[in-house]
Amino acid sequence: MAARGVAASFSAGYCAFGDEQGAPGVAGEAYPTYSRADIKARCGGASTWVTYKDGVYDITEFINAHPGGAQKIKLAAGGSVEPFWRIYRQHLEQQAGVMDLLAPMRVGTLSAEDYASETCAAKTVDADDPYGDEPERHPALIVHGATPMNAESPPALLGDTYLTPNDLWYVRNHHPVPRLKGDAHEVALALASSPERGTSLAVGDLKSKFPRTEVTATMQCSGNRRGHMNQYGTTSGTAWGCGAASTATWAGVPLRDLVGETLNLGAAPLAAAKKLGLRHAIFEAADDMQASIPLEKALGELGDVLVAYEMNGAPIPRDHGGPLRVVVPGYAGVRNVKWVNRIVLSADTAVGAWERGMNYKAMPSHWRSKADLKGVDFAALPSIHELPTQCAFSAPAAGDAVDSDDESFEARGWALGSAGRAVHRVEVSADGGATWTEASLDAGTDQPYGRAWAWTTWSCDLPIPAGPEPLTLLARAADLGGGAMPRTPEDVWNIRGLNNNSWHTVTLGRTVSAEEEE
Amino acid sequence: MAARGVAASFSAGYCAFGDEQGAPGVAGEAYPTYSRADIKARCGGASTWVTYKDGVYDITEFINAHPGGAQKIKLAAGGSVEPFWRIYRQHLEQQAGVMDLLAPMRVGTLSAEDYASETCAAKTVDADDPYGDEPERHPALIVHGATPMNAESPPALLGDTYLTPNDLWYVRNHHPVPRLKGDAHEVALALASSPERGTSLAVGDLKSKFPRTEVTATMQCSGNRRGHMNQYGTTSGTAWGCGAASTATWAGVPLRDLVGETLNLGAAPLAAAKKLGLRHAIFEAADDMQASIPLEKALGELGDVLVAYEMNGAPIPRDHGGPLRVVVPGYAGVRNVKWVNRIVLSADTAVGAWERGMNYKAMPSHWRSKADLKGVDFAALPSIHELPTQCAFSAPAAGDAVDSDDESFEARGWALGSAGRAVHRVEVSADGGATWTEASLDAGTDQPYGRAWAWTTWSCDLPIPAGPEPLTLLARAADLGGGAMPRTPEDVWNIRGLNNNSWHTVTLGRTVSAEEEE
């Protein structure tokens, strides 16, 4: 099955549409005024309020009738629906029908002060605050830390479109987001062995002077699912759920072609560079971060490493490395350096914390505490590069419940092979592993051999086991390399919480129908 | 550390040296005569007898003084030591000293009839028996089935030399071993899309007309360690231990260069072949077996696929595909087709049982019985190609015992990454996983990035846990791809018993010292 695309990217901010007419309501009716804080306070428990423009709506009764599902509409609780409608564009394309549904639910008006402060015009940049010029972010992102921004994609939305809308992509920054010069931003290209061959190209040159090449790849923080590891033992780092992963179609220039042509390495740049004693490609970023990858990946004919200027058909947003980032399919997010301004082919790896420090080093499970790290030569440990086979649910999520009257329910998710290998099987259990159901593989199954850089989405109907107990859901995937994902976080645990690819586990409750309650 | 080589390969048969003078013994002594059956019957329990030439020796008292260890000398029990001395050549190089040790242990003379029948001259070929012309095999091989020959390497010897001596390589045949024409044997090369470009080359042409290229690779049957899987549930197929794996330095012509030159595919043969709509390289063998691999592996610049005529410095022995086989590093043994006589680049995979039948298909753990296979479309399941990360003990072995008086003992073994990834860590436990010791990585650590096709050997001293219980040894390895080997065979179990890469488990007894026994 072919990959399903997203219609477009969304560069607009998350402010309300301040320049349009007022929000729909019942004609002639006068509404009480609420602040944003009032509205947020009304949410939770049995009640859900949202806003559209300056209208306040009580959608409590509508939630279970929402064609997109209750889980998704609840993401807007207390806030504006508009950022979500930009993702789920059918709301805008069929606006008249949507408004007919919405208007009768109106219960109030957003205070003029809050409405104004939420418009773009109200935003000011504080020049003294290093984080004063951050991009606006979608309210559905799950923010783990804001300075620097570390936010994961809402897992429930990851399964909706094969390509993750740019606004919903996970964000993992190390510093404030640089503001660069768009097409005028320059990237230097150099050979450590022959400085005289160096050159520099603007993003505009990359667009106009080289053929545009597309690569569809899932990117994943090496700490994705660290939070699940913490259930076994405390790790250090952001406690990501399973949403530090997203997929895009990137466009740009293959690094192999770029250095082959501009640094006179010819049509077989890998062999040529290795003859010069070079072994790594170092990527330096405008935020002073740097990382490197081996030349076999950087310049190999099947590595598909891209110097990218486009993400899902739009210029790369600032949060995701715009105007220029490196895309290293199959490698940890940290090697996909954002805001790249220099690429050096070198005999050595990059320097600095991201390549040589402890943060991205592979450590064994038997190092259980910081005491075990005493005297460790971190430089001698390998850095995290390629990621292992992964599998995660997008729905249901922890805290959801199945209906006790139903015989089965739908589970959905994604899986990603290691080393570019295709995922050929996903197995899901609703009874803690006693029985397994093979999921249908939906999108992403037609990727080229050894270059399956993007996830495969899956879905299945799972029988609901008898009994009153909560359900223990498990999901595991197999790629073409054999082996198996580890059963529990214990088997892959490490003090830095990297590379958790244990079976994804979700516990579900059971709802009791009204009749039974009586 | 650099890979340690073996001195040479051994093409001699396993017959005794019938043309040399008699065996050493105590001068003037007359010895009783024993048949081979008599000698074998004397072995086991407390007593160990062996032969050298026509001499019979009781080495029972010497076993624990053997400089190479008791475990290895016991492999010769009941048989001749000569095949082992050809592997451990110090016995031949320092023969005078060895003989001084051996002569006083002489207890008899091998019957003239058995001595004669064990010499090469006595061997006749039965033309009516399809298995009448099989090569001679080393007596240390652990034979699971003789027609066709399926024999594993003695695990205790796998760790001794980095390269496995040809005589000790595991043998996995599907049919009688063909007898081909050496350098005159021809291999046809063809493009399914353009039959007119086909050509044919003799092995002699490969040697004389192309540069000789070496690749050091570990080969492994995809059923290696199937026997360990059976501890969890019965599988179908040969119950291999961990010895269906061996390592050689192969020499030959890279397939990429060979087809690039002879089939006019140029310097970028992968791209050229894909433009012709071709996707697989099919290897056809003289024994009517065939298998295929994707072109990305067959022709990729980092695939290292070799059309090989040499194994550890000698012409490839018949049992291992001589005079010509394909070597596909990192892929299941079955794709490394022996006795190859035709190579076709094709739009489709190979036909036949080895590529499309159920025997080499990846099946899920939840198919527990043959009933689950009913109605399965095996053609739709992927074939086993790349193998997962693997790790095994070479010593100690199940049934061995530690000395209760010792504080620690040495464990040794090998580990192999998946997808050409280097092994960067091996962890070993002597207490069932309660504590782990990191092993030293010995040989094989200097392989190129992404092309670590051969194993890494390891060793460590393990503390002996207190208590009278048997010791549960575990070994697990990590390669650069993150993730983890599965904990138990259950996690990777499948009805065909393929790709068992669960933690290797060995149970050890404890010996009680003589003093304690009193």
Contact check, Cβ <8 Å, A301/B425? no
CA distance B9 to chain A (A): 32
| Cross-strand partners of A331 | A386
B221 is catalytic: yes
pLDDT of residue A427: 97
Query: Does B389 sit within 8 Å of A480, measured CB to CB?
Result: no
Between residues A12 and B173, the one the model is more confident about: B173
Q: Which of residues 344-373 of A touch B (CB under 8 A)?
A: 362, 364-366
Tell me if B35 sits within 8 A of B114, measured CB to CB: yes
Task: Report the amino acid identity of residue B135.
Answer: P
What pLDDT is recorded for position B228?
Answer: 93
Three-class DSSP category at A23: coil
Cβ of A387 and B482 within 8 Å? yes
Say how many C-beta atoms besides its own lie within 10 A of residue B229's C-beta.
Answer: 27
Q: Using CB atoms within 10 A of its CB, is residue A377 exposed (0-12), middle (13-18) or buried (19+)? A: exposed
Number of neighbouring beta carbons within 10 Å of residue B341: 18
Tell me which of A274, A292, A302, A476 to substitute to probe the interface with B (most B C-beta atoms closer than 10 Å). A302
Tokens coding A315? 């210029």
In this model, does residue B269 exceed pLDDT 60? Answer: yes
Tokens of B358: 């159920």
Q: Which residues does chain B have within 8 Å of residue A385's beta carbon, measured at their own beta carbons?
A: 480
Characterise B321 by phi-psi region: left (phi > 0), alpha (psi -120 to 50), beta (else): left
Cα–Cα distances in angstroms (integers) from residue B501 to residues B225, B439, B483, B484, B488, in the given order: 8, 18, 13, 10, 9
Instruction: Tell me if B486 and A491 make a contact (CB, 8 A cut-off).
Output: yes
The whole-angstrom distance between residue A518's C-alpha and the CA centroid of its chain comes to 44
Does the beta-carbon distance from B297 to A482 stay under 8 Å? Answer: no
For an interface test with A, give the residue of B385, B456, B498, B502 to mutate (most A CBs within 10 A): B385
- CB of A389 less than 8 A from some CB of B: yes
Residue B366: list chain A partners with CB under 8 A.
427, 435-436, 438
Tell me: pLDDT of B15 over 50.
Answer: no
Residue B311 in this model has a pLDDT that exceeds 80: yes
Q: What is the pLDDT of residue B21?
A: 65
In this complex, is the C-beta atom of B302 within 8 Å of any C-beta atom belonging to chain A?
Answer: yes
Please give the pLDDT value at position B155: 87
More confidently predicted of A36 and B518: A36
CB A15 within 8 A of CB A120: yes
User: Which residues on B lie below 8 Å from A384 (Cβ)?
Assistant: 482
B88 Cα distance to chain centroid: 17
Q: Which structure tokens are listed for B405?
A: 């008086």
Please say whether the beta carbons of B501 and B486 come within 8 A: yes
User: Nearest-CA distance from A503 to chain B in Å?
Assistant: 11
Long-range contacts of B434-442 (CB under 8 A, 24+ apart): B435/A366, B436/A364, B436/A365, B436/A366, B437/B461, B437/B462, B437/B463, B438/A364, B438/A366, B439/B411, B439/B413, B439/B475, B441/B1, B442/B1
* 3-state class (DSSP) for residue B47: strand
pLDDT above 60: residue B115: yes
CB distance from B436 to chain A under 8 Å?
Answer: yes
Going by C-alpha positions, the residue among A174, A214, A226 that lies closest to residue A327 is: A214
Give the nearest chain B residue to A420 (CA atoms).
B419
Mean pLDDT of B190-218: 96
Q: What is the pLDDT, as a whole number, of residue A514?
A: 53
- Measured between CB atoms, does B486 come within 8 Å of chain A? yes
Residues B9-34 as b/e (b if ≥16 CB within 10 A, e otherwise) read: bbeeebbbeeeeeebbbeeeeebeeb
HSE of B67, CA atoms in CB hemisphere, 13 A: 6
Residue B511 has pLDDT above 50, yes or no: yes
Q: How crowded is residue B386: how many other Cβ atoms within 10 Å of its Cβ?
A: 23
Task: Note the ipTM here.
Answer: 0.89
Q: What integer pLDDT is reported at residue A14 of this predicted model? A: 52
The question of whether B360 is a catalytic residue gets the answer yes
Six token digits for residue A335? 């090697």
- The per-residue pLDDT string of chain A (518 residues; one tens digit each, 9 = 90 and over) reads 333 333 333 333 454 444 456 788 888 889 999 999 999 998 877 889 999 999 999 999 999 888 888 888 888 999 999 989 988 888 988 888 999 999 999 999 999 999 988 865 545 677 889 999 999 999 999 999 999 999 999 988 887 899 999 999 999 999 999 999 999 999 999 999 998 889 999 999 999 999 999 999 999 999 999 999 998 899 989 999 999 999 999 999 999 999 999 999 998 999 999 999 999 999 999 999 999 999 999 999 999 999 999 999 999 999 999 999 999 999 999 999 999 999 999 999 999 999 998 899 989 998 988 888 999 998 889 999 999 999 999 999 888 899 989 999 999 999 999 999 999 999 999 999 999 999 999 999 999 999 999 999 999 999 999 989 999 999 999 999 998 999 999 999 999 999 999 999 999 999 876 554 44
Q: Considering CB atoms only, which of B271, B388, B478 is closest to A481? A: B388
Strand order in the sheet with B390-395: B390-395, B408-416, B456-463, B440-441
3-state percent helix, strand, coil for chain B, nearest multiple of 5: 20, 30, 50
Give the per-residue pLDDT at A1. Answer: 37
Per the residue annotation, which of A88, A162, A221, A342 is the catalytic one?
A221
Mean pLDDT on B441-446: 97
Contact A274, A186 (CB under 8 A): no
Distances (CA, A) of B191 to A363, A492, B264, B302, B305: 47, 45, 10, 22, 18
- The tokens describing B167, both together, are 């005589």
**Residue B515 belongs to what H/E stretch?**
helix B514-517
| Nearest residue to B368 via CA among B485, B490, B486 | B490
Q: What confidence category does residue B14 fall into, taking pLDDT thresholds of 50, 70 and 90?
A: low
Amino acid residing at A424? H
Residue type, B110: L
Q: Are β-strands B280-285 and B199-202 bridged in parallel, bridged antiparallel, or unpaired?
A: unpaired
How many Å lie between the alpha carbon of A339 and the closest alpha carbon of chain B?
Answer: 26
Hey, are the CB atoms on B486 and A481 less than 8 Å from each other?
no
pLDDT of residue B10: 34
pLDDT confidence of residue A316: 98
Q: Is A230 on the interface with B (CB under 8 A)?
A: no
**Of the candidates B366, B450, B194, the residue with the CA atom closest to the CA atom of residue A478:** B366
Cα–Cα dist B111/B323, whole Å: 37
Residues 6+ apart with CB under 8 A from A416: A218, A220, A245, A387, A389, A390, A391, A423, A454, A455, A456, A477
Whether residue A419 and residue B481 make contact (CB cut-off 8 A), yes or no, is yes
Tokens at B201, concatenated: 């080359």
Instruction: Report which DSSP code applies to B44.
Output: B
Task: Report how far apart, in Å, the C-alpha atoms of B79 and of each of B7, B39, B141, B196, B501 are.
Answer: 24, 8, 13, 56, 34
Angstroms from A419 CA to nearest CA on chain B: 7
**Can you tell me whether residue A459 is helix, strand or coil?**
strand
Q: Is residue A203 a contact partner of residue A184, using CB atoms and an 8 Å limit?
A: yes
What distance in Å separates residue A429's CA from the closest CA in chain B? 10
Q: How many CB pairs under 8 A join A and B?
A: 159
Tell me the C-alpha distance between B28 and B357, whole Å: 65
Q: A479 CA to chain B: closest CA distance, Å?
A: 10
User: Chain A within 8 Å of B379 (Cβ-Cβ)?
Assistant: no
Q: Which site among A385, A453, A474 would you substitute to test the B interface, given the most B Cβ atoms closer than 10 Å to its Cβ?
A: A385
The pLDDT score that the predictor gives to residue B121 is: 52
Q: Which of B31, B43, B66, B179 is flagged as catalytic?
A: B66
Contact B363, B495 (CB under 8 A): yes
Between positions 133 and 162 of A, the ones with CB within 8 A of B are none
Look at A487 and B485 and tell me if their CB atoms are within 8 Å.
no
Q: Which residues of B touch A436 (CB under 8 A)?
A: 364-366
Flag whether pLDDT at B6 surpasses 50: no
Range B239-248 average pLDDT: 97
**Residue A346 — φ and ψ, nearest 5°?**
-140, 160
Query: What share of chain B has pLDDT > 70, as a percent?
Result: 93
In sequence order, the 6+-apart residues with CB closer than 8 A to the CB of A477 are: A389, A390, A391, A415, A416, A417, A423, A425, A426, A427, A485
Q: Do A302 and B297 touch (CB under 8 A)?
A: no
- B481–A418: do the CB atoms touch at under 8 Å? yes
Interface list for B 193-212 with A (CB within 8 A): none
d(CA A207, CA A189): 16
Number of H helices, E strands in chain A: 15, 26
Place of tokens 């729905």: A395
Q: Closest approach of chain A CAs to the CA of B484, in angstroms?
A: 6
